[in-house]
Amino acid sequence: MNPAIDPAIFRQAMRRLAGGVGVITVGTGEDRTGLTATSVTALSAEPPRLLVCINRSASAWPLLTEYGSFGVNLLDSNQQDLADRFAGKSGEKGPARFTGTRWKSLVTGAPLLEGALAAIDCTVEEVIERHSHAIVIGRIEAVDLGNWSDPLLYWSGLYRTTRDLPSVPFAAVG
Ligand SMILES: Cc1cc2nc3c(=O)[nH]c(=O)nc-3n(C[C@H](O)[C@H](O)[C@H](O)COP(=O)(O)O)c2cc1C
């Protein structure tokens, strides 16, 4: 590591990158879990591929490698409670994170959220383990498009909606 670069400064820089919020889901039945992730990125449209960066200490990681498939569920602004739950904020683990919401499966069996902005069913094409994380490349097996609605955003360490953006105080940015 370049000792001149303070990780705290890097974190501050990355907090200025606004992003959408997704929930990555893995497994089936009582053997399922997931995590909230802002690192979801389209890799290519032809062929359809995406990537997500997952901390290898997350509880979802061993299941993802075991099942070889995962769901990417893009959240709308009414689904912040779900983002909190899948970030482990209130302590629920595994299948408890899924209670109170409706899920279905399409091709791979990975849980896909009913009412997501979009739910994308993936098989793992490649995993690149690097430092604390893994870059997971997903091959798109099915896409479930939900209704258009206001996306859930994450910026400067807080959830936002597009309605917040004109009035966000820049002084709050770390
Ligand atoms: C807004 C937000 C975005 C996150 N993005 C990522 C991410 O891209 N990759 C990741 O590994 N963890 C990310 N996390 C952290 C995981 O959601 C969290 O560590 C995980 O759910 C907890 O792991 P556990 O399942 O072991 O309890 C994010 C958390 C929040 C609140």
Question: Residue 135 maps to which CATH number?
Answer: 2.30.110.10
Which residues are near ligand 1 (CB < 6 Å)? 21, 33, 35-39, 53-55, 58-60, 86-88, 154
DSSP summary character for residue 109: -
Q: Is residue 4 part of a domain?
A: no
Q: Closest ligand 1 atom, CA of 133?
A: 11
pLDDT one-digit tens code per residue, 123-135: 999 999 999 999 9
pLDDT one-digit tens code per residue, 76-119: 999 999 999 999 999 999 999 999 999 999 999 999 999 999 99
For residues 163 and 34, the model is more confident at: 34
Domain count, the chain: 1
Q: Is residue 172 part of a domain?
A: no
Q: Closest ligand 1 atom, CA of 154?
A: 1
Q: Is residue 101 part of a domain?
A: yes
What's the gap in Å between 160 CA and the centre of ligand 1?
Answer: 17
Q: Is residue 15 part of a domain?
A: no
The sign of the CA dihedral 114, 116, 118, 123 is negative
Q: Is residue 106 part of a domain?
A: yes
Residue-number span of the structural domain to which 59 is assigned: 21-155
